């Protein structure tokens, strides 16, 4: 393995995080070993590093979550700064190591492709069943991100999926001193009135794209939206719900609307959750 010193240090670590720190030495990029169908949609953004000579270096933890941990990874060709990119690696825990278990409400009406895996997933006592379930959430999030990205929604570009690990476009920026700065969650921001109104309109648009694909986010809140400068990016999409097939679909969309409108109202923008719901729901048909 060649020597490689990452060009960047992570700046914004999750305060109080108890997850492991920076990982082992760089490993070879996992890109070449990931099957074509498990890579993100084409045309691929120019920044995606596909060189077999690239190395993946773990720079730290972005956030430990209830069901997954998100790490900052640099994928770079040594000595070639033009081929270096930061990625967010979202790693699902197997269900035994989660602090949160999603209700079956989300998957009602969803069809699994492989009935063998479905039977395994239903077996709450088998290790295989637990790992199949972890993979299913990762698979679901990757497929959703691909569809949304292709439909033009503001979501992180999904670079690849490898088992329970998703590699995503890092939402944030690199500061002048070279440090990586993750975009804040919407909940942490206090935008001026004009930007606040613009952000609401961006979210309406994003919810409309989801609805036209027949989906509601299902866990939309100011914690699952990142503020990348003036642009909002919607994240955390393993649980999208089918508005037509899922009997709870409309209720979950309504809850998304209430969560979002409550935050915008608390920041001073007059918005109405029922109006937003009506407007978004109508686009599902
Ligand atoms: N692509 C990304 N770029 C930058 N930061 C990200 C990205 N994806 C996730 N994060 C950070 O990691 C956090 C957790 O991600 P996400 O919400 O997808 O996972 P989660 O397991 O549902 O976490 P939680 O339980 O906190 O909701 C986000 O709030 C955000 O701060
Ligand atoms: Mg989240």
| Sequence ranges of the domains in the chain | 27-182, 186-282
Q: How far is ligand 2, taken at its centre, from the CA of residue 77, in Å?
A: 31
Best mutation site among 235, 237, 239, 240 for ligand 1, i.e. most ligand atoms within 8 A of its Cβ?
235
Distance between CA 283 and CA 243 in Å, rounded?
Answer: 11
Query: Which ligand 1 atom lies nearest to the CA of residue 237?
Result: 18
Best mutation site among 90, 160, 225 for ligand 1, i.e. most ligand atoms within 8 A of its Cβ?
90
Q: How far is ligand 2, taken at its centre, from the CA of residue 238, in Å?
A: 10
**pLDDT of 105:** 78
**pLDDT of 6:** 61
| Residues within 6 Å of ligand 1 by CB | 62-63, 65-68, 70, 88, 90, 156, 168-172, 182-183, 185, 223-224, 235-236
**pLDDT of 12:** 44
Distance between CA 110 and CA 246 in Å, rounded?
Answer: 7
Secondary structure (3-state) at 96: helix
Instruction: Tell me how far CA of residue 214 lies from CA of 18, 200, 244, in angstroms.
Output: 38, 21, 7
The 8 Å CB, 24+ separation contacts for 158-162 are 158/40, 158/41, 159/31, 159/39, 159/40, 159/48, 159/87, 160/30, 160/31, 160/34, 160/38, 160/39, 160/40, 161/34, 161/38, 162/30, 162/33, 162/34, 162/38
- Tell me, yes or no, if the two domains 27-182 and 186-282 fold the same way: no
Distance between CA 144 and CA 236 in Å, rounded?
Answer: 10
Query: Which ligand 1 atom lies nearest to the CA of residue 169?
Result: 1
**pLDDT of 104:** 74
* Residues of the chain below pLDDT 70: 1-24, 95-103, 111-131
Domain 27-182: assigned CATH number: 3.30.200.20
**pLDDT of 3:** 57
Secondary structure (3-state) at 227: strand
Distance between CA 76 and CA 213 in Å, rounded?
Answer: 35
Residue nearest to atom 20 of ligand 1 (CA): 65
Q: Tokens at residue 105, please?
A: 């409400």
pTM of the complete model: 0.88
CATH superfamily of 186-282: Transferase(Phosphotransferase) domain 1 (1.10.510.10)
């Amino acid at each position: 393995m060649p020597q490689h010193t990452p060009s960047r240090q992570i700046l914004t670590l999750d305060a109080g995080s108890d997850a492991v720190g920076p990982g082992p030495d760089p490993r070879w990029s996992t890109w070449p070993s990931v099957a074509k169908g498990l890579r993100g949609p084409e045309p691929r953004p120019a920044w995606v590093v596909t060189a077999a000579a690239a190395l993946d270096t773990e720079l730290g933890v972005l956030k430990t979550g209830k069901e997954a941990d998100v790490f900052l990874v640099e994928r770079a060709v040594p000595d070639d700064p033009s081929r270096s990119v930061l990625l967010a690696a979202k790693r699902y825990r197997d269900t035994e190591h989660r602090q949160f278990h999603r209700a079956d409400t989300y998957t009602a009406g969803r069809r699994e492709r492989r009935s063998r895996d479905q039977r395994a997933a239903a077996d709450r006592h088998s290790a295989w069943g637990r790992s199949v379930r972890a993979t299913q959430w990762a698979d679901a999030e990757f497929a959703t991100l691909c569809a949304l990205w292709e439909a033009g929604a503001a979501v992180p570009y999904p670079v690849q999926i490898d088992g329970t690990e998703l590699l995503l476009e890092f939402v944030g920026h690199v500061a002048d001193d070279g440090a990586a700065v993750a975009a804040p969650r919407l909940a942490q921001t206090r935008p001026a009135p004009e930007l606040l109104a613009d952000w609401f309109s961006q979210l309406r648009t994003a919810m409309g794209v989801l609805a036209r694909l027949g989906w509601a986010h299902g866990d939309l809140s100011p914690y699952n939206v990142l503020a990348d400068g003036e642009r909002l990016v919607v994240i955390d999409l393993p649980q999208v719900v089918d508005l037509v097939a899922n009997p709870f679909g409309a209720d979950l969309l309504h809850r998304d609307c209430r969560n979002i409108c409550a935050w915008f109202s608390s920041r001073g923008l007059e918005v109405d959750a029922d109006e937003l719901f009506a407007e978004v729901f109508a686009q599902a048909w």
